[in-house]
């Protein structure tokens, strides 16, 4: 059994590390996420879980990388390009 492919919902700033790179959507596999740019919003990992006899679902929606910074935080003086 396999979970849905996440290619359409994955942010291009998001790096994915799989517990099984050969078949990463297989039930029981966990995907770990890290942002290339920005701050991770959402879970740092999700697992493909069996649902019923013939289904499989991810334990949570994949995270996103938030590259916008809030004005509530004091400036560090560092400029990002």
**pLDDT top residue among 26 and 12:** 26
Residue 22 lies in a domain: yes
Average pLDDT of the chain, as a whole number:
84
Domain range for 11 is 7-60
Residue 66 lies in a domain: no
Residue 81 lies in a domain: no
Distance CA 25, CA 51 (A): 14
Residue 67 lies in a domain: no
Residue 55 lies in a domain: yes
Query: What pLDDT does residue 67 have?
Result: 85
pLDDT in tens, 24-34: 899 999 999 99
* Overall domain count for the chain: 1
Q: Which domain CATH number covers 47?
A: 2.10.70
Task: Name residue 2's beta-bridge partners.
Answer: 26
pLDDT at 8 over 70: no
Helix (H) or strand (E) holding 47: strand 45-51
Query: What pLDDT does residue 32 have?
Result: 93
pLDDT at 42 over 80: yes
Residue 47 lies in a domain: yes
Report which DSSP code applies to 2.
Answer: B
Average pLDDT (34-59) is 94
């Amino acid at each position: 059994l396999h979970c849905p492919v996440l290619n359409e919902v994955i942010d291009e700033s998001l790096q994915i590390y799989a517990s099984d790179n050969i078949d990463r959507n297989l039930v029981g596999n966990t995907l770990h996420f890290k942002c290339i740019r920005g701050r991770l919003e959402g879970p740092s990992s999700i697992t493909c879980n069996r649902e019923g006899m013939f289904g499989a679902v991810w334990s949570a929606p994949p995270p996103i990388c938030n590259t916008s910074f809030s004005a509530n935080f004091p400036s560090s003086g560092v400029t990002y390009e």
